[in-house]
Every structure is written in structure tokens, then in C-alpha cells.
Amino acid sequence: MSWIAWIVVLNKLDPFESTGLAMGLFFISLFFALTCTFTVAGYYFRVWLNKNEVFYSHINVSLRQGILLTLIAIGCLLFQLLGVLTWWSGLLFIGAVTLVEFYFMAKEEA
């Protein structure tokens, strides 16, 4: 459903007419679409790797990592929109989000 909403936003809204509304809906619909896709893919990847574990324990980790991957993608899109995306700024952004994930992983183990 989120991908359908994103496609509707792409086809129906002109970013040159209503810049704020079109860009806002574009990024919100893309956020939900990518989060759902990354979460489902991560969940099934974890289920496939760990066949003898409880499945519901993978949902929280998959959702968190799906949101973080989505933030990376949308952050790089925003950097590109602003014209400041270079390879090293993208890598720094990915590194910062990776550190956030390491923080959450360390907090879970403690």
C-alpha cells in the first residue's frame, strides 16, 4: 500500500506547482514504503538464518534496522536535493547511523 501511495504521489503531484506539499508527501510516502520493505526483508532474512528461534523476537530488531536504513536512503536523497552529497559525506552519514545501531545493540545486551 505504501508503494502505491508513493507512485500516486509521483504521478499526481507536480513539484513545481506545490513544492512544499509535493516534497513533503514524496518523502513521507517514501519513508513508509522503504521502512515496510526493509522491515519485511530483514525479518524474513533473520527467520531464514535462525530457523530454531522465536520469530517474534526478530520483529523489533527488523523494524529498528528498517527505519535506520530508510533514514540513510532519505538522508542521502535530502543531501542530493541540497547539492551537498559527496562520497565522503554519504559515508560519514552511513557511519553515524551505524553508530546509532551499535548503541542500540549494546543497550540490548546490557
Residue linked to cell 530457523: 51
**Could you report the per-residue pLDDT of 17-65, keeping only the tens digit for each?**
888 889 999 999 999 999 999 999 999 898 888 886 767 778 999 999 9
Cell numbers at residue 98, please?
551505524
Domain ranges of the chain: 31-109
Q: Are 22 and 11 in contact (CB under 8 A)?
A: no
Q: Which residue do the cell numbers 513545481 mark?
A: 16
In the block, residue with C-alpha cell 527488523: 62
Average pLDDT in the chain: 92
Which residue is it, cell 506539499? 21
Residue type, 71: L
| Whether the model pTM is above 0.85 | yes
